[in-house]
Copies of this chain bind each other. A is one copy, B any other.
Amino acid sequence: VARIRLTIAYDGTRFSGWQSQPDRNAVQDHLEAAVSAVTGGDRLPVHGSGRTDAGVHALAQVAHFDAPAGSSMAPDDWLRALNSHLPPRLRVMGAEAVSDSFHARFSAEAKTYRYRIYHGEVLPPHEFGRAWHLRGTLDATLLAGAVALLRGRHDFRAFAANRKDASDQADATRTLSDVTVVTDGPVVSLVFRGDGFLYKMVRMLTGGAVRVAQGREPPGWLRGFLENPRGPKCPYCAPADGLYLVSVEYGSGPGPGEPASQP
């Protein structure tokens, strides 16, 4: 098969999340419709590295699909052709041929998310839908201390929202290899790199860390959720607006530097 790997960016405020929805306004719906428009054939599945919820942004989501047998379109032609059929708030930023051992979801080894907070009295209009607006106390030292507790290998079950399809949470142990706070003027970003993330995990980690930074919960508060994962869940979830899927990493499998030989 001619498997094509796509790097995709989207403004989450315009779509019903990643996964195909009845309203046909999910990112996956738009991509599958665009592939179908380009091939003139039946709808083919486009597989993503994972779901993002409505309102969540992506700077470099990764997906793949298999071009129809006999297709000889070059990846750059796919990029241009797909973009001509996609809305402007959803763009294919890169396309390359990969071997059929590559799978956007199962080959992913790490992901990085950024959660953007705008800390100031008035949210500038260009930040609306693109950051969580917080006023008042947000102590940088308390915030850094709270996120530092999260690094490493933990059962993050208490930071996962329930969903009907909970099968993938049977094992809720994940490794956060890096969690950092980056401050740029009024914009405070929490950057999370890990081998996997549970449903709404970044937003619940952020929601909990912010409560600590606001002085509304004690400094060590998040530790309790990690030490007692089957106890109460963290009751705070940051809004979707501030969340960005920044990158997906693929290691041993065919990646950006290793295009598959032409079929």
Chain A interface residues (CB < 8 Å from chain B): 9-11, 57, 59, 79, 83, 88-93, 122-126, 128, 130
Contact = CB atoms under 8 A, between A and B. Distances in A.
Contacts of A89: 125, 128
Contacts of A88: 123, 125, 128
A161 B41 CA distance: 48
Contact of A11 (B57, B90, B93, B125): B125
**Centre residue among A10, A83, A124 by max chain B CB count within 10 A:** A124
Task: Give this chain's copy count.
Answer: 2
A140 to B, nearest CB: 23
A11 B129 CA distance: 12
A90 B9 CA distance: 26
A123 B80 CA distance: 12
**Centre residue among A59, A88, A125, A130 by max chain B CB count within 10 A:** A125
7 contacts: A9-B125, A59-B124, A88-B128, A91-B124, A92-B122, A93-B122, A93-B124
A11 B9 CA distance: 21
Nearest to A58: B125
A122 B80 CA distance: 9
Contacts of A130: 126
A5 to B, nearest CB: 16
Given A9-B124, A59-B124, A126-B130, 15 more contacts: A9-B125, A10-B125, A11-B125, A11-B126, A57-B126, A79-B122, A83-B122, A88-B128, A89-B125, A89-B128, A90-B125, A91-B122, A91-B124, A91-B125, A93-B124
A10 B125 CA distance: 6
